[in-house]
Structure 1
């Protein structure tokens, strides 16, 4: 089990070579859920990353009654959900990852009922699901709490409605789009998240026959159709995996080439790296990333897309630890996404948490290998970066969290010259 395994890193190696960015976890998960909407044909997804959250999501489909084939090496998932499907999500699986809430929308849309226990995921702060259930109610569903936590969502009919997100939520938008896709009439979602993963997800739905406009903007319109069918789609590259690999090259003063970096999805992030002295040169589908002799400090404020991604905040904080001067990193999306501060201090970094989720990073620090625990996906990635830059040996525990977001990471880093092994 990954939870018992340990990743050992011998730091101090300047990375060189080439690596490929994985398929997007955050695009693949709603697509997997959307396969439940098809009453005919199979859904074929390519470039599906074998991360733990995806493996669990595919198992959820199997336990609901879908037929699923998945080749982890080729990244191809073939899903047939045209048979008898249960409306009740398996408790032991839905509790393991937050994206299990994405199955509620398509189950409600097609079968008019969905039952789910409280969902799991990273403990990084408040991520309310009331956007989802409030939207379901506006479509005509009755939402009832269940003993022990969770919801039973039932509808005799679904009718188009006006819906909104208090704050832009990509899972909220995806769930409401699926719920409205088979409803009668037109639905509108205001203050929608505009992440590129939503755009990619909607491209799949459109291939399935859905009538959706406005993906990638703050207003999304859905006109319900009578039925949806299976379709084929290639999942976009993972911009968060790309960002972590770019910073791996930067923090080691390396010179690497990455396939699958979509710079249009990483505009502000890439600009921040360039301000730190990192060189990025696009050559077709490859991106060259060259770290400077000394990184410059940076100011970062996380926000919703297209702003600086909160999911890359832990890693750029690790990068800031070795920058020459004080950096200022403020987290505005999740109030508890600073657990990695303790881990970075274990490496010898000097960080001063201030009020309003501001952390002042005093660099450059001389990082030294240590023993740490991956608290969540992105905090685990920050530990990997610190370990690559540190002197001596680092051991990272609780690898299940890291594996939820990054597949075959040690193999890809080893291909760039890093010295690491999983035992």
Structure 2
């Protein structure tokens, strides 16, 4: 029997009560249907984009997650009126936007890294912006140098203070020629949100081209922006004098969809993910099938289940259209039950395989190579920060007491606990609500056996 205390985030700054604990009784297949709403990685950025409009915007399919609550609070601190029109639909009116005090921004930002994306819109709107010390998941350095260098290219003046970074643009912002050292999603978003109102044309090379980036471009085009892109990761943005509000339905959250798919694989379950679409998940679906999973594509979602014994695979994470780094953590849990040796090369974040220590504690046979592994069949170029995990299976998992380290790692611990025999304790689950809407309700929908305690 499940006991749900609360499945919503509490304070915006904290992203919910991280101290909540799940007690999970595993060893049973997950079966049922879950619905996914708009992507965390689009909804939060589209909310920031509303600052650029001279009229109100409407964003649909907004997930009820703590990262959205943080952005909402930051917008409200800056005088943006945010209204709930109905479940998952927000109206954002920037007509009253004002400058905010550093203390207010810092208090509402909490552990989120979203504030850095406010810089371009606020520089256009108010002529200044402030970034507090940035938090986020501890999966790598995630330097903000790409962002700051891009903003300097537009003409912003960057001053580092003990409490954060203050930016100003006394002469306004102008178009720039920018080439990113790495196709960073965040830096690409920064350039887009800044360039659309900058004077002149911006050329961005080595840009990220994730579906969420394309959806953000669609949002900005609805607002009046002129943006074109070429197949070689080059994006051109012609600055315009003004933008209007938008009406947009966010792209579905493919990270959450892949997470539930991995849960079906790990527990030998059968889960229908409503709202999931094939096109944005092609790379994941190919790997899912290679591992031994099966799926059915429907108009309203995708059904995931095992198609037979699980098989070992070699996976390399990469920027889109490669295999997403957010997908490897839940997949590794399933690979502990595959018959043979699997290898996962993590090439995006340097610390993202640290979560496997808890899986070893639960009985998994996983060895992490901190400097990666060279191999003749590698397709993704080797990177200085990469790591690799070698997973030997199948190994039975057993209950353990674990602490959530980050968003995707935390979800992976829950999957492992659900697949394991016996009872597990998963602490610090508030982090999971940063990116998974109604997480506890959905666990109930697929038949998980758990209790929640403070």
Q: What TM bracket, shorter-length normalisation?
A: over 0.9
Residue 20 in 1 paired to residue 35 in 2? yes
CA distance in 2, matches of 1:242, 1:348: 26
TM-score normalised by length of structure 1: 0.95
Moved more, 251-260 or 23-32: 251-260
Show CA shifts across 1:204-255 (max 9, x none).
Answer: 1111111111288611111111111111111110000000011111111122
The structure-2 alpha-carbon separation of the partners of 1:293 and 1:368, relative to structure 1 and needing over 3 Å to count, comes to farther
CA distance in 2, matches of 1:295, 1:409: 26
Moved more, 383-392 or 287-296: 287-296
Residue 87 of structure 1 and its aligned partner are, at CA, apart by: 5.5
Residue 293 of structure 1 and its aligned partner are, at CA, apart by: 4.4
Show CA shifts across 1:246-286 (max 9, x none).
Answer: 11111111222221112222222211110111011212122
CA distance in 2, matches of 1:91, 1:323: 45
CA distance in 1, matches of 2:191, 2:110: 21
Residue 189 in 1 paired to residue 204 in 2? yes
Aligned position for 2:76: 62
Q: Secondary structure at the match of 1:214?
A: strand
User: Matches of residues 321-400 of structure 1 in structure 2 within 5 Å?
Assistant: 321-354=336-369, 355-356=371-372, 357-400=387-430
Residue 44 in 1 paired to residue 74 in 2? no
Structure 1 consecutive aligned stretches of length 4 or more whose deviation exceeds 6 Å = none
Q: Check whether the contact 2:80–2:96 (CA below 8 A) recurs between aligned residues.
A: yes
Q: Check whether the contact 1:321–1:363 (CA below 8 A) recurs between aligned residues.
A: yes
Q: Secondary structure at the match of 1:266?
A: helix
Q: Check whether the contact 2:130–2:164 (CA below 8 A) recurs between aligned residues.
A: no
Aligned position for 2:12: none
Residue 334 of structure 1 and its aligned partner are, at CA, apart by: 0.6
Q: Check whether the contact 1:104–1:114 (CA below 8 A) recurs between aligned residues.
A: yes
CA distance in 1, matches of 2:115, 2:310: 40
Q: Check whether the contact 1:301–1:329 (CA below 8 A) recurs between aligned residues.
A: yes
Show CA shifts across 1:93-141 (max 9, x none).
Answer: 3342112211112111222221112211011112121221111111122
Residue 88 of structure 1 and its aligned partner are, at CA, apart by: 5.1
Aligned position for 1:133: 148
Gaps of 5+ in 1: none
Aligned position for 1:417: 447
CA distance in 2, matches of 1:317, 1:250: 11
Aligned position for 1:225: 240
Residue 79 in 1 paired to residue 82 in 2? no
Q: Check whether the contact 1:302–1:331 (CA below 8 A) recurs between aligned residues.
A: yes
Show CA shifts across 1:19-47 (max 9, x none).
Answer: 112320000111111111112x2111111
Residue 250 in 1 paired to residue 280 in 2? no
Moved more, 249-258 or 146-155: 146-155
Q: Secondary structure at the match of 2:121?
A: helix
Q: Secondary structure at the match of 1:156?
A: coil
User: Matches of residues 295-306 of structure 1 in structure 2 within 5 Å?
Assistant: 295-306=310-321
1:160 pairs with one of 158, 175, 200: 175
Q: Check whether the contact 2:202–2:238 (CA below 8 A) recurs between aligned residues.
A: yes
